[in-house]
């Protein structure tokens, strides 16, 4: 299937690692020019995305700062000629270990998470929306997480549900003007953090790393963890013109949650 992404101009936040980097790499492989946005773009990330031969623009920007976001988008428009796609992935990944109880969750912790994952996503969407609506086309994909469907992490649940609500509201506003907005919910995902996560679980459970890895895999219907690249494949489809029938909705990309039915 041709995703019709050749020549599109994409902004990917959180692009220095994990799902953000995998999404930027996949979009570049599909023919997109990519603005790779993070607080400190790494040389390794830049090389990985640039190897596909499309235009690649590394930008250092903090999405908790609205002025920095506005300046970042202005630079993208000036150097790439516009923006067609936004992937919001700049957020602190959820931990695999025990989460703090409600009584131990501080105001500061929740505010910090909202500044990055909720307000940061809004700032970026708000900055690119005028450019997308002016051309009658745009795709915004928000990377959230399956904590939106769980109550085991107060902070993770609240921030991820908020991203889903933000997505739906933006979709209603922007959809009639040619811009769709969707949210993907990854679960535990194989990234550069995974070896440390497996080692920590093995230490906590008193098991081998192989046993810890198998235990994590049992959290999905696949019997293994999904990779960042597999999540990125779904994101790339949602960034394409072919995804027009999906707007405001959530797509789970965690390999399937055992024991539950969503409809």
Q: Which two tokens stand for residue 161?
A: 């549900």
Please check whether residue 51 lies inside any domain of the structure.
yes
Please check whether residue 260 lies inside any domain of the structure.
no
DSSP for 152-220?
Answer: S-HHHHHHHHHHHHHHHHHHHHHGGGTEEEEEEE--SEESTTHHHHHHHHHHHHT--HHHHHHHHHTTS
Residues 140 and 128 sit within 8 Å (Cβ to Cβ): yes
* CATH number of the CATH domain containing 144: 3.40.50.720
Q: Give the range of the structural domain holding residue 163, as residue numbers without chain letter.
A: 9-252
- Residue 219, CA distances (Å) to 18, 187, 209, 224 in order: 20, 9, 16, 8
Closest to 36 measured CA to CA, from 18, 52, 14: 14
Q: Which pLDDT does position 203 carry in this prediction?
A: 85
The residue that leads in pLDDT, 205 or 32, is 32
Q: What span, in angstroms and rounded, lies between the C-alpha atoms of 171 and 177?
A: 10
Please check whether residue 258 lies inside any domain of the structure.
no
Q: Which two tokens stand for residue 101?
A: 């109880």
For range 258-263, the mean pLDDT: 86
- 203-234 pLDDT per residue, tens: 888 888 888 888 888 889 999 999 999 999 99
Please check whether residue 103 lies inside any domain of the structure.
yes
Please check whether residue 28 lies inside any domain of the structure.
yes
Residues 87 and 36 sit within 8 Å (Cβ to Cβ): no
**End-to-end Cα spacing for the chain:** 27
Q: How many domains does the chain have?
A: 1
Please check whether residue 112 lies inside any domain of the structure.
yes
Query: Is 94 a residue whose pLDDT tops 90?
Result: no
Please check whether residue 3 lies inside any domain of the structure.
no
For range 242-263, the mean pLDDT: 94
Please check whether residue 84 lies inside any domain of the structure.
yes
pTM of the model: 0.94
């Amino acid at each position: 299937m041709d995703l019709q992404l050749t020549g599109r101009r994409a902004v990917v936040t959180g692009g220095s690692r994990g799902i953000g980097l995998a999404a930027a790499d996949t979009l570049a492989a599909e023919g997109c020019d990519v603005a790779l946005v993070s607080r400190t773009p790494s040389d390794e990330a830049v090389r990985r995305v640039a190897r596909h031969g499309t235009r690649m623009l590394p930008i250092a920007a903090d999405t908790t700062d609205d002025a920095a976001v506005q300046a970042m988008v202005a630079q993208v428009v000036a150097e790439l000629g516009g923006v067609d796609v936004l992937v919001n992935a700049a957020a602190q990944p959820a931990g695999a270990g025990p989460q703090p109880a409600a009584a131990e969750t501080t105001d500061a912790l929740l505010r910090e998470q909202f500044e990055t994952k909720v307000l940061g996503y809004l700032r970026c969407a708000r900055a690119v929306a005028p450019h997308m609506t002016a051309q009658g086309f745009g795709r915004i994909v928000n990377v959230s997480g399956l904590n939106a469907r769980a109550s085991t992490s107060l902070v993770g649940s609240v921030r991820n549900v908020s991203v889903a609500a933000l997505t739906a509201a933006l979709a209603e506003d922007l959809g009639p003007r040619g811009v769709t907005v969707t949210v993907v919910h990854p679960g535990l995902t194989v990234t550069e953090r995974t070896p440390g996560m497996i080692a920590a679980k093995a230490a906590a459970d008193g098991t081998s790393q192989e046993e810890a890895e198998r235990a994590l895999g049992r959290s999905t219907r696949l019997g293994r963890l999904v990779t960042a690249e597999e999540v990125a494949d779904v994101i790339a489809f949602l960034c394409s013109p072919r995804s027009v029938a999906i707007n405001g909705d959530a797509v789970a990309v965690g390999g399937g949650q055992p024991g539950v039915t969503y409809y």
